[in-house]
Amino acid sequence: MMPENFPVSSILEMMKVRLVFPKTLSVILAASMVSPMAALPANADQPLALYIDRIELNSADIGDDRMVSVNVDISGNEDGFIAAEFGIYYDDRLTLTHVDKSSQAGSKFHYINNSAEHRIWFSGANASASAGASEGESTLFTLQFSLPENYATGDQFMIGYNWNGCHDTASFWYTSKGTDQISSIHQNSISGSISIPNEEAPYLSQKEISLNQGGTVQLEIQNYTGGDVLWFSDNTNICHVENGLVTGIAPGNCNVMAYVNNSLLTCQVSVTEDYHYSMTSSETIYIRDPDMLVILEYPDPTGQIVWISSDPKVVTVSEGRLTPGNNGTAQIIATSNGVSYVKTVVVDLPVDTTQPDPTEEPVTEGSSTEEPSTEVPVTEGSSTFSDTTEETTPDAIAHCGDLNNDGKVSLADVIALNKDLLCIETLDDAFAMRADVNTDGIISPMDALLLLQYVVELIDTLPAV
């Protein structure tokens, strides 16, 4: 529960500072009812970022000394730093009692604690960048705070970042001479908190969300008993919120907050650089940038996932990653253990970036064309029955594509054919000839593609000669 002497106007005032001076104090408002931050994997390609612990305590966990340790972690610091400065701001009800900076990178820093303004300014320097390097994510500092004597269930104590120091000293992080990485820290760092949850207090429907640029997620307030709600984001360059609807703006991390009934509720928001879509969602995917990386996610697969594009000229798919080709519409089908999902993809690239059809070669002056061979090679994953019959039977033509003999051609037949081609399940001999969709005497991936195109209504008739 926020104290009575912490009115909404104080939050608004901090928001004004954040909006007018983008490099000044970031709004230091952290999550309620959240768990400590999960350890991030040590990854060399992680962006340079700082993470302050989000700690949730029960009253029984708090000792007589009321001391709580909060880690400040760093990721993406493999190259170390030559010089760095930044600040941390903490709730004015907390008392900073100690700063442990014994880690390899942290030992290079000095700090000044301005207890009157409840902020710490860190300044570090190295003779060489490698002298202060850390591997992946590591703890930079450990801050020890003392809770107030009158702490109570429902209290939230906020800990965040200060990007301007004394005399408007701007924060920076130089990994090499002339290379300031502070923009990465601004974009990706996550603030923290100490909270003592109250089960009867309001809380947000989600504590953490991840969304695409331009994507939206609706947050709801649970245990809401009425009253005015103030929604805001601590970094409007990364995400925007209105009436609980969060919209991703640019890649990075930020917090979305709701102030209601003297409680400050926070959700951590991660806006991804890549575009992720679940195969179970109903929205159509639009690719308008040739460099746009789209990743499709199959929900809880129980085995190998087979990915198919109905038109590889428009878009190809490999392990869920889409690569656009020519403008047009295609269907992506993902199958695992007999369960399939279909997603519509529209490629709408600027004309000058549309790739040429790889199957068409221009005829230049002085060149000649030859009639293509009528012989179709048998490739791996194909089967032929031309040695047992000279032509497609009337039954195969009349019931072309109906591989499970249910009287219709559907996605189930596409799956059955692909299972046969992958040697997962063999088609019944009585219906195998119906799989020769293009009547060339061979059952091949081309038949599976044509059958899929018929199911999604890209072609009108079967057989597709």
Domain finish residue from 271, 295, 327: 271
Q: Are residues 188 and 326 in the same domain?
A: no
As a three-state string, the secondary structure of 391-407 is CCCHHHHHCCCCCCCCC
In a domain, 33, yes or no: yes
- Residue 23: predicted pLDDT: 26
- Quick one: which H or E segment has residue 9? helix 8-20
What's the residue count for the chain?
465
Q: Are residues 340 and 393 in the same domain?
A: no
Digit-coded pLDDT (tens) for 326-352: 999 888 988 888 788 888 999 999 876
The answer to which of 4-18, 109-123, 197-211, 342-356 has the lowest mean pLDDT is 4-18
Residue 110 has pLDDT above 80, yes or no: yes
Do 38 and 164 form a contact (C-beta atoms < 8 A)? no
Residues 405 and 341 in one domain: no
Q: How confident is the model at residue 72 (pLDDT cuts 50, 70, 90)?
A: very high
Q: Report if residue 364 sits inside a domain.
A: no
Note whether 45 and 25 are same-domain residues: yes
Stated as kind and residue range, the H or E segment containing 306 is strand 305-309
**φ and ψ at 305, to 5 degrees?**
-100, 125
Mean pLDDT, all residues of the chain: 78
Q: Which two tokens stand for residue 139?
A: 């703890």
Residues 437 and 464 sit within 8 Å (Cβ to Cβ): yes
> Rounded to whole angstroms, how far apart are CA atoms 463 and 433?
11
The helix/strand/coil state of 380 is coil
Residues 254 and 282 reside in one and the same domain: no
Question: What's residue 459's pLDDT?
Answer: 82
Is 371 inside a domain boundary? no
User: pLDDT tens, 295-330?
Assistant: 999 988 877 888 988 888 999 999 899 999 999 988
Domain boundary among 252, 271, 290: 271
What's 339's domain CATH number? Answer: 2.60.40.1080
Provide the pLDDT confidence category of residue 288 given band limits of 50, 70 and 90: confident
pLDDT of residue 347: 92
Whether 50 and 62 share a structural domain: yes
Asked which of 123-137, 178-192, 231-245, 382-396 is least confident by mean pLDDT, the reply is 382-396
Task: Report yes or no: 459 and 453 within 8 Å, Cβ to Cβ.
Answer: yes
In the DSSP assignment, the letter for residue 108 is G
CA distance 334 to 49: 35
Q: Does 255 share its domain with 336?
A: no
Tell me: the pLDDT tens digits for 153-203? 888 898 998 887 655 568 899 887 778 888 888 888 988 999 888 777 788
Confidence band, pLDDT 50/70/90 cuts, at residue 215: confident
Distance (Å, rounded) from C-alpha 134 to C-alpha 81?
10
Last residue of a domain, one of 271, 286, 314: 271
The verdict on 300 and 432 lying in the same domain is no
Strand segments, DSSP code E, in 76-224 are 83-90, 95-100, 109-114, 119-125, 138-146, 156-162, 172-176, 179-180, 192-195, 203-204, 208-211, 216-218, 221-222
| Phi (first) and psi of residue 293, to 5 degrees | -95, 115
Task: Please state the domain count of the chain.
Answer: 3
Residue 359 lies in a domain: no
**Do 347 and 407 belong to one domain?**
no
Q: Kindly write down the DSSP assignment for every residue of 162-189, as one continuous string.
A: E-B-GGGPBPEEEEETTEE-HHHHHHH-
Instruction: Answer whether residue 12 is part of any domain.
Output: yes
Does 341 share its domain with 193? no
Residue 360 lies in a domain: no
The CATH code of the domain that includes 199 is 2.60.40.680
> 105 with 213, same domain?
yes
Phi-psi region of 3 (alpha: psi -120 to 50; beta: other; left: phi over 0): beta
Position 362 in a domain: no
pLDDT in tens, 347-381: 999 876 555 555 555 555 554 444 444 344 444 44
Q: Which of 52-56, 59-63, 239-243 has the least mean pLDDT?
A: 59-63
Q: How far apart, in whole angstroms, are the C-alpha atoms of residue 426 and residue 157?
A: 63
291 pLDDT higher than 60: yes
412 SS3 class = helix
Q: Which residues contact 172 (CB under 8 A, 6 or more apart)?
A: 83, 84, 85, 86, 180, 182
CATH of the domain at 446: 1.10.1330.10
Encoded amino acid at 265, one letter = L
Provide the pLDDT for residue 144.
Answer: 96
- The H-assigned helical ranges of 272-428 are 394-398, 411-421
Q: Is the pLDDT of residue 20 over 80?
A: no
| Calculated CA dihedral for residues 361, 364, 367, 370, nearest 10 degrees | 30
R_g (Cα) of the chain, nearest Å: 30
Decide if 178 is inside a domain. Answer: yes
Same domain, 84 and 213: yes
Ranked by mean pLDDT, the top range of 228-237, 345-354, 439-448 is 228-237
Side chain identity at 202, as an amino acid letter? P
Range of the structural domain that residue 178 is part of: 8-271
Give 150 or 167, the one with higher predicted confidence. Answer: 150
CA 443-457-323 angle, 5° bins: 75
